[in-house]
Amino acid sequence: MKIGILLKEGPYNHQASDSAYKFAEAAIKKGHTVDAVFLYNDGVSNVTKLMDPPQDDRNIAARWDALHKQHGVEILACIAASKRRGISDEVLIEGASITGLGTLTDIAIRNDRLITFGD
Amino acid sequence: MKIGILLKEGPYNHQASDSAYKFAEAAIKKGHTVDAVFLYNDGVSNVTKLMDPPQDDRNIAARWDALHKQHGVEILACIAASKRRGISDEVLIEGASITGLGTLTDIAIRNDRLITFGD
Amino acid sequence: MLHTINKSPFASDSLETCRRFLQPGDSVLFIEDGVYAVQAGNKFASLIETIQKNNSVLALHPDLGARGITVVADGVRVVDYEGFVELVEEHQVNSWL
Amino acid sequence: MLHTINKSPFASDSLETCRRFLQPGDSVLFIEDGVYAVQAGNKFASLIETIQKNNSVLALHPDLGARGITVVADGVRVVDYEGFVELVEEHQVNSWL
Amino acid sequence: MGNIDVGENINIKKIMHVMRHAPHGTIYTYEGLEMILIMAAYEQDLSVAFIGDGVYALKKDQNTAAIGIKGFAKTFMALDGYDVEKLYVDQLSLEERGLTEDDLLVKVEVLGSGEIGKLMNEQDVVIHH
Amino acid sequence: MGNIDVGENINIKKIMHVMRHAPHGTIYTYEGLEMILIMAAYEQDLSVAFIGDGVYALKKDQNTAAIGIKGFAKTFMALDGYDVEKLYVDQLSLEERGLTEDDLLVKVEVLGSGEIGKLMNEQDVVIHH
pLDDT digits (tens, 9 = 90+) for B22-71: 999 999 999 999 999 999 999 999 999 999 999 999 999 999 999 999 99
pLDDT digits (tens, 9 = 90+) for F1-21: 444 454 456 679 999 999 999
Q: What is the number of helices (H) and of strands (E) in chain B?
A: 4, 5
Q: Which SS3 state, helix, strand or coil, does residue E97 take?
A: coil
Instruction: Give me Rg for the CA atoms of chain E.
Output: 15
Nearest residue in chain E measured CA to CA from B117: E25
Q: Compute how many other C-beta atoms are within 10 angstroms of the C-beta atom of residue A29.
A: 11
Distance between CA atoms of C36 and D83, rounded to whole angstroms?
40
| Alpha-carbon distances, residue E12 vs A3, A85, E16, F33 (angstroms) | 17, 33, 13, 50
Distance between CA atoms of E52 and E90, rounded to whole angstroms?
8
A79-A85-A87-A91 Cα dihedral, nearest 10 degrees: 180
In which order are the strands placed within the sheet that holds A96-99? A96-99, A74-78, A33-39, A2-7, A113-117
Residues of chain F with pLDDT > 70: what percent?
Answer: 92
F52: left (phi over 0), alpha (psi -120 to 50) or beta: left
Distance between CA atoms of C94 and C77, rounded to whole angstroms?
19
Q: Which one-letter DSSP state was computed for residue F42? A: G
Q: Cβ contact (<8 Å) for E31 and A81? A: yes
Instruction: Give me Rg for the CA atoms of chain F.
Output: 15
At residue C95 the predicted structure's pLDDT band, cuts being 50, 70 and 90, is very high
Asked if residue E1 has pLDDT above 50, the reply is no
Q: Compute how many other C-beta atoms are within 10 angstroms of the C-beta atom of residue A106.
A: 16
**CB-based contacts of F18, cutoff 8 Å, min separation 6:** F48, F49, F51, F54, F120, F126, F127, F128, F129
Minimal Cβ distance to E63: which of C11, C39, C65: C65
With touching defined as 3+ CB pairs under 8 A, do chains D and B touch? Answer: no
The confidence score (pLDDT) of residue E11 equals 76
Mean pLDDT across the stretch E66-74?
96
Residue B80 identity: A
Instruction: Map chain D to HEC letters.
Output: CEEEECCCCCCECHHHHHHHHCCCCCEEEECHHHHHHHECCCCCHHHHHHHCCCCEEEEEHHHHHHCCCCCECCCCEEECHHHHHHHHHHCCEEEEC
| Active-site position among A3, A20, A78, A87 | A78
F80: left (phi over 0), alpha (psi -120 to 50) or beta: alpha
Distance between CA atoms of A47 and A98, rounded to whole angstroms?
10
Distance between CA atoms of C81 and D5, rounded to whole angstroms?
37
**Mutation target among F24, F37, F69 for the A interface, most CBs of A within 10 A:** F69
Q: Cβ contact (<8 Å) for F38 and B108? A: no
With touching defined as 3+ CB pairs under 8 A, do chains E and A touch? Answer: yes
Q: How many CA atoms lie within 13 A of D55 on its CB side?
A: 23
The answer to whether A17 and F26 have CB atoms below 8 angstroms apart is no
Q: Which residues does chain B have within 8 Å of residue F39's beta carbon, measured at their own beta carbons?
A: 101, 104-105, 108
ipTM: 0.96
Q: What is the rounded end-to-end Cα distance, in angstroms, of chain E?
A: 25
Minimal Cβ distance to A48: which of B13, B53, B86: B86
Minimal Cα–Cα distance from C71 to chain F, Å? 31
Q: Which residues does chain B have within 8 Å of residue C62's beta carbon, measured at their own beta carbons?
A: 22
Q: Which residues does chain E have within 8 Å of residue B21's beta carbon, measured at their own beta carbons?
A: 68
- Which H or E run includes E78? helix E75-78
Instruction: Report the neighbours of D using a cutoff of 3 or more CB pairs below 8 angstroms.
Output: A, C, E, F
Residue D10 identity: F
List, as one string, the DSSP characters of F44-113.
Answer: -EEEEEE-GGGGGGGBTT---GGGT----TTHHHHGGGGT---EEEEHHHHHHTT--GGGBSS--EEE-H
Q: Chain E residues with CB-CB distance to C under 8 A?
A: 21-26, 52-53, 56, 59-67, 69, 71, 73, 96-98
Question: Is the overall model pTM greater than 0.90, yes or no?
Answer: yes
The answer to whether D29 and D5 have CB atoms below 8 angstroms apart is yes
Distance between CA atoms of A10 and E128, rounded to whole angstroms?
17
Asked if residue E6 has pLDDT above 90, the reply is no
Residues of chain C with pLDDT > 70: what percent?
Answer: 100
pLDDT digits (tens, 9 = 90+) for F29-53: 999 999 999 999 999 999 999 999 9
Mean pLDDT across the stretch E48-77?
97
**Mutation target among B39, B63, B65, B84 for the A interface, most CBs of A within 10 A:** B84
Chain D (18-77) residues lying within 8 Å, Cβ to Cβ, of chain E: 20-23, 26
Q: Which residues does chain D have within 8 Å of residue F97's beta carbon, measured at their own beta carbons?
A: 10, 36, 39, 42-43
Mean pLDDT across the stretch F75-94?
96
Q: Which residues does chain F have within 8 Å of residue A21's beta carbon, measured at their own beta carbons?
A: 68
The confidence score (pLDDT) of residue F4 equals 47
Distance between CA atoms of F57 and F51, rounded to whole angstroms?
10
Axis crossing angle, helix A16-29 with helix D81-90, rounded to the nearest 10: 80
At residue E10 the predicted structure's pLDDT band, cuts being 50, 70 and 90, is low
List, as one string, the DSSP characters of chain C.
Answer: -EEEE-S-TTTBSHHHHHHHH--TT-EEEE-GGGGGGGBTTSTTHHHHHHHTTTSEEEEEHHHHHHTT---B-TTPEEE-HHHHHHHHHHS-EEEE-
With touching defined as 3+ CB pairs under 8 A, do chains F and D touch? Answer: yes
Q: Which residues does chain E have within 8 Å of residue A40's beta carbon, measured at their own beta carbons?
A: 31, 35
Mean pLDDT of chain F: 93
Active site residue B78: yes
Domains and CATH numbers, chain E: 14-128 (3.40.1260.10)
Q: Given CB atoms, is B2 within the 8 Å cutoff of chain C?
A: no
The CATH number for B2-117, chosen from 3.40.1260.10, 3.30.2130.30, 3.40.50.1370, 1.10.3720.10, is 3.40.1260.10
pLDDT digits (tens, 9 = 90+) for D29-55: 999 999 999 999 999 999 999 999 999
Distance between CA atoms of F44 and D79, rounded to whole angstroms?
46
Q: Given CB atoms, is C13 within the 8 Å cutoff of chain F?
A: yes
Mean pLDDT across the stretch C17-45?
97
- Which H or E run includes F125? strand F125-128
Residues of chain F with pLDDT > 90: what percent?
Answer: 91
The confidence score (pLDDT) of residue F1 equals 42
Closest CA to A102 of A38, A59, A23: A38
- Which H or E run includes B12? none
Q: Cβ contact (<8 Å) for B13 and E27? A: yes
Distance between CA atoms of A35 and A42, rounded to whole angstroms?
21
CATH T-level fold of C2-96: Hypothetical Protein Ychn; Chain: A, (3.40.1260)
Q: Which one-letter DSSP state was computed for residue B57? A: S
Minimal Cβ distance to A50: which of B41, B53, B90: B90
Axis crossing angle, helix B101-110 with helix F28-39, rounded to the nearest 10: 70
Distance between CA atoms of A83 and A99, rounded to whole angstroms?
11
Q: Cβ contact (<8 Å) for D97 and E128? A: yes
Instruction: Map A97-115 to HEC letters.
Output: EEECHHHHHHHHHHCCEEE
Minimal Cα–Cα distance from C43 to chain D, Å? 15
Q: How many CA atoms lie within 13 A of A117 on its CB side?
A: 27
